[in-house]
Structure 1
Amino acid sequence: MGLNRMMMKNVVKVEDGSKNWSYSEAHNKTIAFTVPPGIKRIKVLAKVDYVEDEPQGYVDASIKNKMTNKTWGEGNSESDEEGVNIYHQDIDSIVGVTPNKTYTLYFNCWATSGVTFSWGKAINDMTPTVEDY
């Protein structure tokens, strides 16, 4: 019985949460992000601006770990010479992370609606598309 109580003390309660940065906060910025206790995966989302009605238009967005150079997410949008969109991809990734670790990330996300990191029990169970332990 004593062992069970000791094991219970080491159980970390996983809580759902999120952090959002506006496009201006996430433009050409280095941001330190500390993973909450018990979190093994971070869902990274950013809607990239849709390029249309602009001949040969192009925008891109990315988030990279400055220490490991791992890309946590990238997206872009492109139009042809007539201004018709020919490609579009938002940032949508699941990053495998280390709980309590602080990551130094470079955000290049001006051409987005902002960036959201989400975490929680259900996200912890998802398969990572990027591993950055």
Structure 2
Amino acid sequence: MRRLFFGEVKVEDGSKKWDYDETNNKTIAFTVPPGIKRIKVFAEVDYALGEPNIYVGASIKNKMTNKTWGEGLSEANDVGDNVSHQDIDSIVGVTPNKTYTLYFDCYATFGVTFSWGKAINAMTPTVEDY
């Protein structure tokens, strides 16, 4: 006897990477793959160092809900020493198959990567945007 389970979706690992110039003051539509409940958002922020009073920031926001999917920064003091640095690194709780309209302000990064899969689905979200 063979059992069929209806409504089950095979969760596949995947990712999408955008280069820094593709995320400079841009709105991007992203559709969550089937079966995916969490998206890992990562972007390495440029390091402020060597010149005085530098501040760089980066962020990703949902244009519909105004929820921030990730924020990062780097800052140098008046003698050019780095005093603060944070990459974008978050786990976003999402709705499978839903399309999100996201505003990227990530020029001061090495690009943005969204990752997903079974292991990421099991993580606790740092941001909820269902």
Q: How does 1:36-115 map to 2 (within 5 A)?
A: 36-115=33-112
Give the RMSD, CA atoms, in angstroms: 1.1
Could you list the per-position Cα deviations for residues 64-115 of structure 1 after superposition, in whole angstroms to 9, with x for gaps in the alignment? 0000000000000000000000000000000000000000000000000000
C-alpha deviation, 1:54, in angstroms: 1.0
C-alpha deviation, 1:9, in angstroms: 2.9
Q: Helix, strand or coil for the counterpart of 1:92?
A: strand
2:34 is the alignment partner of 1:32: no
- Runs of 4+ aligned residues of structure 1 deviating over 4 Å after TM superposition are none
For normalisation by structure 1, the TM-score amounts to 0.96
Question: 2:121 maps to which residue?
Answer: 124
Percent identical among aligned pairs is: 75
Distance, in Å, in 2 between the alignment partners of 1:41 and 1:54 is 38
Distance, in Å, in 2 between the alignment partners of 1:13 and 1:27 is 34
Could you list the per-position Cα deviations for residues 20-40 of structure 1 after superposition, in whole angstroms to 9, with x for gaps in the alignment? 000000110000000000000
Which stretches in structure 1 are left out of the alignment for 5+ residues? none
1:37 partner amino acid? P
1:107 partner amino acid? F
Q: Helix, strand or coil for the counterpart of 1:113?
A: strand
Which stretches in structure 2 are left out of the alignment for 5+ residues? none
Distance, in Å, in 2 between the alignment partners of 1:9 and 1:70 is 33
Distance, in Å, in 2 between the alignment partners of 1:41 and 1:10 is 19
Q: Helix, strand or coil for the counterpart of 2:26?
A: strand
